[in-house]
A = this chain, B = another copy of it.
Amino acid sequence: MKLEIWFEFASTYSYLSVSRIEELLNGTQIDLAWRPFLLGPIFRGRGLDTSPFIIDSIKGAYMWRDMERCCKKYGLPFVRPPIFPMNGLSAARIMTAALSETWSGDFARLVFAAQFGCGADISDEAVLRRVLEDCDVTPDEWFAKAKQSLTKSKLREATEQARTLGIFGAPSFLVGDELFWGDDRLEDAIALAHVL
């Protein structure tokens, strides 16, 4: 069965799921589909001009402490980045262009690790360049593909599809027609993908 992970590069809890999912699926027959999209247009369509964690400072403060604890639990490095939410547009376009590449999962994990493990600014081309080099591909080639109008329109379509699916946050998981929201539901989504 197929499991789709819908994620946004600026999303804190997406870091947890993107970092965990491949190991959890290792040895299973579940077919993983990476579905990068942009939360900004989804939030704006819901009347929010930024992350709910910025609008609601009490919930935001809780989220950062919760992230510290979750990263410790999962053995993931964590630093609170100096900017939140970061602009993940370039990363999302590269990921969109690279979806059929074997290294796309590595790219996603490394971008999140740079951001939430090291505090790096993922809108900085130099940061993405290092990640692409770590994936053993030519950065210039993938920056060029990211800027193609086909890539841009694919990402816009993915975001529109997320809205149609009723996705309102990230990460979300789709298994058949069941939608799960949040890193806390990753195991449940996998359990369903096993039996469907």
Contacts and interface: CB of A to CB of B under 8 A. Distances in A.
Interface stretch (A59-67, A108-116, A135-143): A59-67
21 contacts: A46-B56, A46-B58, A56-B168, A58-B166, A58-B168, A59-B168, A61-B166, A62-B166, A62-B168, A62-B179, A62-B181, A65-B178, A65-B179, A66-B180, A66-B181, A66-B185, A69-B178, A69-B188, A73-B188, A182-B184, A184-B184
Interface in A177-196: 178-182, 184-185, 188
Most buried by B among A56, A62, A65, A69: A62
The secondary-structure label for the interface of chain A is helix
Q: How many copies does the complex hold?
A: 2
Interface of A: 46, 56, 58-59, 61-62, 65-66, 69, 73, 166, 168, 178-182, 184-185, 188
Nearest to A182: B184
A178 B59 CA distance: 14
A62 B178 CA distance: 10
Nearest to A166: B58
Nearest to A45: B58
Nearest to A184: B184
Contacts of A56: 46, 168
Most buried by B among A73, A168, A178: A168
A160 to B, nearest CB: 15
A163 to B, nearest CB: 9
A68 B115 CA distance: 35
